[in-house]
């Protein structure tokens, strides 16, 4: 988790590069609690964990919400505004493969983020939109996962 924080905050997008930076940079090693002789994870194992093990887990969301709550409590950030990522996403608008909206159905195996996004759209479309509140899910609750 600490290596992910370094990667996100320092703009290191490559897992291979992140592992190299943590291996060489004493401040990063200290932050990750590795010490001078601690072993830095191999980039392939690090990548497999990030893309596999943590993908369907709520641990990253829980950590993010906890950090935001602590920052709000300490007055480090305010809640008066927000920013939206406006990254362009390529659309798949092939008319030969299109499906009428009345016949479209979300895949049952869609990822958690897709399911949450569709649920918010459904709520907004049917007038049931409400303020979004953080949802903390216990890692020990098998029904939540």
Quote the DSSP letter at residue 80: S
- pLDDT digits 0-9 by tens, 18-54: 999 999 999 999 999 998 888 998 888 888 877 777 7
pLDDT grade, residue 2 (50/70/90)? confident
38 within some domain:
yes
What separation in angstroms does the CA of 36 have from each of 40, 45, 82, 143? 10, 21, 39, 42
The answer, yes or no, to whether residue 139 has pLDDT greater than 70, is no
**Count of C-beta atoms within a 10 Å radius of residue 112:** 13
The answer, yes or no, to whether residue 69 has pLDDT greater than 60, is yes
128 within some domain:
no
Show the DSSP H helices in the chain as ranges. Answer: 2-10, 15-24, 26-31, 43-48, 59-73, 112-125
106 within some domain:
no
91 within some domain:
no
The answer, yes or no, to whether residue 7 has pLDDT greater than 70, is yes
What's the token pair of residue 21? 């930076």
Select the more confidently predicted residue: 141 or 24. 24
- Distance from C-alpha of 145 to C-alpha of 140, rounded to nearest angstrom: 9
- pLDDT digits 0-9 by tens, 77-131: 776 666 666 666 666 666 666 777 677 666 666 677 777 777 777 665 555 555 5
67 within some domain:
no
**Count of C-beta atoms within a 10 Å radius of residue 28:** 20
The answer, yes or no, to whether residue 10 has pLDDT greater than 70, is yes
61 within some domain:
no
Mean pLDDT of all residues belonging to the chain: 75
* Of 51, 9, 50, nearest in space to 27 by CA: 9
> What pLDDT, on a 0 to 100 scale, did the predictor assign at position 23?
92
> What pLDDT, on a 0 to 100 scale, did the predictor assign at position 134?
55
Quick one: angle between helices 15-24 and 2-10, nearest 10? 100
43 within some domain:
yes
126 within some domain:
no
Is residue 63 within 8 Å of residue 32, measured between CB atoms?
no
Is residue 7 within 8 Å of residue 13, measured between CB atoms?
yes
The answer, yes or no, to whether residue 60 has pLDDT greater than 70, is yes
| Host domain of residue 11 | 2-55
Sequence-distant (≥ 6) Cβ neighbours of residue 46 within 8 angstroms: 3, 15, 18, 19
Domain count, the chain: 1
- Distance from C-alpha of 4 to C-alpha of 60, rounded to nearest angstrom: 10
């Amino acid at each position: 988790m600490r290596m992910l924080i370094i990667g996100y905050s320092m703009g290191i997008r490559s897992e291979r590069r992140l592992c190299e930076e943590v291996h060489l940079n004493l401040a990063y090693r200290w932050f990750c609690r590795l010490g001078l002789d601690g072993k830095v994870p191999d980039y392939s194992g690090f990548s497999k964990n990030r893309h596999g093990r943590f993908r369907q887990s709520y641990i990253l969301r829980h950590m993010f919400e906890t950090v935001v709550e602590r920052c709000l409590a300490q007055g480090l950030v305010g809640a008066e505004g927000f920013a939206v990522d406006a990254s362009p996403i390529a659309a798949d608008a092939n008319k030969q493969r299109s499906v009428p909206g009345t016949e479209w159905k979300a895949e049952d195996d869609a990822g958690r983020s897709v399911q949450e996004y569709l649920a918010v759209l459904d709520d907004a479309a049917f007038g049931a939109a409400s303020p979004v509140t953080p949802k903390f899910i216990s890692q020990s609750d098998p029904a939540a996962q």
